[in-house]
Amino acid sequence: MIRIDIATLFPDMCESYLSESIVGRGRKAGHIDIHCHNIRDYAGNKHNRVDDKAYGGGTGMVMQAQPIYDCITAIKQESDASPRVIYMSPQGRVLTQDIVKELAAEDSLIILCGHYEGVDQRVLDELNAEEISVGDYVLTGGELPALILTDAIARLQDGVLPNSDAYSIESHYNGLLEHPQYTRPEIWHDRAVPAVLLTGAHDAVAKWQEETALEVTRRKRPDMLYDHRVNGEPYARYIRVFVPHKEREYDIVAFMKMIFHRRILTNREQKILKRMMPVLDSLPTPPECEENSRIWLNAKNAGRILDMYAPLFDMLREHGIDYRIEYSDTPDGKPVAENENFTVFA
């Protein structure tokens, strides 16, 4: 069982949140051990003052080194393990699910919450504190970030949630956003639950969930498709897109080449082609494409290929053109053309 100690100026604030809901039940059941410590208890003066003016001037006060050091030293004496010290700071590594999983495997953590203008740098150096941020913005203090980190870690502890499925299929855990969720009633404001979810066919539901999670990620957070997974490999390195045209399905590159080389275009095709030109211009010269061509594109720079396709997908939806996407780690073809950004496989 992991032990988490939070050093803060506002222990009651932290206790209030950590005593409720899933984390609170996990603490009561003994699945996670969390303690909140008041840094003011180590102030060493009758006014419990723990801050002072910053050397070099400027507005705001800086938390002093000694009370923080004494607080964390006392916490370490209570623990049998050698805890990692985490300082919640906008200058730190941005928190991700991978970092959460890493920290959740520790035996003991001490989380330091700064306040005012921050803390004296010397105590961070003395404690060898790791800095972690919850995003590129500034908050009043480190308490909310500490609660976010503690909550995320608590969820991964054995017994806190009913089973591993309760967190392993959620957004970010496996590198994708989660599929949409629905509950009763089946129809609400003329919006129906997807029919496949009502069938009870487990394989079909699982397939829908997987495909929808991939599409949601592509639409909302395409950068995540290139986040690192096990063994440091990206989730989806290759992509190909198909569009229907005159009762057939064309590879998107073949479709673009086909209408590009036609001498007479309808007004609709001219508009589509004009919107597609930036995509065409960014691609290496593809091979001659037949109606049954199936072309994989590989992005050499992570995320670049989806950045390129995003406006194309928007355009296809705008014109009411359905499209189908396939992703793969390995293409079923050979490289036939490339430029500085892409390789074409056919």
Q: Which segments are annotated as binding site for S-adenosyl-L-methionine?
A: 114, 134-139
Structure tokens at 30: 């003994």
Single-letter amino acid code for the residue at 176: L
Give CA–CA dist 105/152, Å, rounded: 12
Angular region, 242: left φ>0, alpha ψ -120 to 50, beta rest: beta
Structure tokens at 74: 């006392």
Single-letter amino acid code for the residue at 285: T
Give CA–CA dist 69/66, Å, rounded: 5
Question: What phi and psi, each to the nearest 5 degrees, are found at residue 43?
Answer: -70, -40
Give CA–CA dist 219/244, Å, rounded: 20
Alpha-carbon distances of 177 from 174, 220, 302, rounded to whole Å:
8, 9, 18
Q: Which of 76, 86, 65, 71 is nearest to 38 (CA)?
A: 71
Which residues are known binding-site members?
114, 134-139
Specify whether the CB–CB gap between 344 and 283 falls below 8 A. Answer: yes
